[in-house]
Amino acid sequence: MKSTIVAALSALSLAAGSAGAATNLLADGDFEAFGPVSGYTTVNGGAALGAWTVGGTSIDLIQGAYNAINGVSIDLAGSPGPGSLSQSFTAQAGYSYLLSFDLSNNGGSQMDVTFGGTTTTFTPTSTTTPYSLAWTAAASGLQAVVFDSVQGGNGGPVLDNVVLTVTAVPEPGTYALLLSGLLAVGFVARRRQA
């Protein structure tokens, strides 16, 4: 019985640890897979950029110029733009999600971010600024993260280091149910041995 309790507590601690694990749910969020870039490279709307979908007219991959943040960054205004980037993920009801990204400015416009069904407008500055948005899913299903330049013109919001993490927020009763189930399995196993 002692080994069953140890196994139950181990399973409980593993479940608690996995609930807080921070894994990026978005692929290619640092955009480094698309470099190196000399100056800028235009990617037209409708193209796939790794796991991202380019929308609007175009975006520019930039590196080491135009207020690039770190390595390869995305100028959402494109040439001539405006452009957008989007990627989908599967949300789970009751889970909290945190979207974070770095934003700078290539002498251009604002950026709209759509996340969790809500659109938020950001005004970038020439100084790289980290931002984050939080959302808790009311229902399970496919959701999109969309970064959208408000206007084109060969200079706009510069995006980099996009990370989407999830933290499970189970009811306290979930852990009690897990523990009681493991104890019941241990009790049945113990009885069968006797």
Q: Any bridge partners for residue 56, and if so which?
A: 83
**Tokens standing for residue 182:** 């493991």
pTM score: 0.76
What is the spatial distance between Cα 115 and Cα 95, in angstroms, rounded to a whole number? Answer: 14
From first to last of its 194 residues, the chain has per-residue pLDDT tens of 454 444 444 444 444 444 445 789 999 999 999 999 988 999 999 999 999 999 999 999 999 877 778 899 999 988 888 999 999 999 999 999 999 999 998 877 899 999 999 999 999 988 899 999 999 999 999 999 999 998 766 678 999 999 999 876 655 555 555 556 656 666 556 666 76
Place of tokens 């959208």: 148
Pairing of strands 96-105, 58-63: unpaired
What is the spatial distance between Cα 28 and Cα 51, in angstroms, rounded to a whole number? Answer: 7
